[in-house]
């Protein structure tokens, strides 16, 4: 991930600090510094839905206003969606493009505060 993130930062003329950590290692105190938490393409293993759900809950408890998770629609993403839809203020937004190829992707929006 770090080389990809560095490339993206360079292309956008900005600097990004990279840390390789597990979701479970983030603390409530750390999350209080953020108003929005964004994750993209992170629901790729079956056992990730529960740790991500717990991280979302912790972020909301910390005062994060919105959590955004973008995914191509893998099964663990839909497991996370189900968890969020049943107990949080959550919705799924679908985005489609037709050029240069036809594809459909999904965004989970979870509102806090």
Is the pLDDT confidence value at 113 over 80? Answer: no
Q: How far apart are CA 24 and CA 38, in angstroms?
A: 16
Q: Which two tokens stand for residue 8?
A: 């993206």
What contacts 41, CB < 8 A, 6 or more positions away?
70, 71, 72
Average pLDDT on 13-26 reads 87
Choose between 110 and 22: higher pLDDT. 110
Average pLDDT on 12-26 reads 88
pLDDT value of position 18: 82
Summarize pLDDT for 91-100 with one digit per residue, the tens. 999 999 999 9
pLDDT value of position 98: 95
Choose between 6 and 106: higher pLDDT. 106
What is the fold, at CATH topology level, of the domain defined by 25-111?
Rossmann fold (3.40.50)
């Amino acid at each position: 991930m770090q080389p990809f993130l560095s490339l993206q930062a360079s292309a956008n003329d900005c600097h990004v600090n990279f840390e390789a950590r597990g979701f479970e290692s983030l603390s409530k105190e750390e999350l209080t510094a953020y108003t929005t938490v964004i994750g993209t393409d992170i629901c790729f293993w079956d056992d990730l839905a529960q740790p991500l759900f717990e991280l979302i809950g912790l972020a909301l408890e910390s005062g994060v206003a919105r959590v955004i998770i973008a995914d191509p629609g893998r099964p663990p993403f839909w497991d996370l969606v189900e968890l969020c839809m049943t107990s949080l203020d959550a919705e799924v937004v679908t985005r489609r493009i037709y050029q240069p190829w036809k594809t459909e992707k999904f965004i989970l929006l979870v509102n806090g505060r």
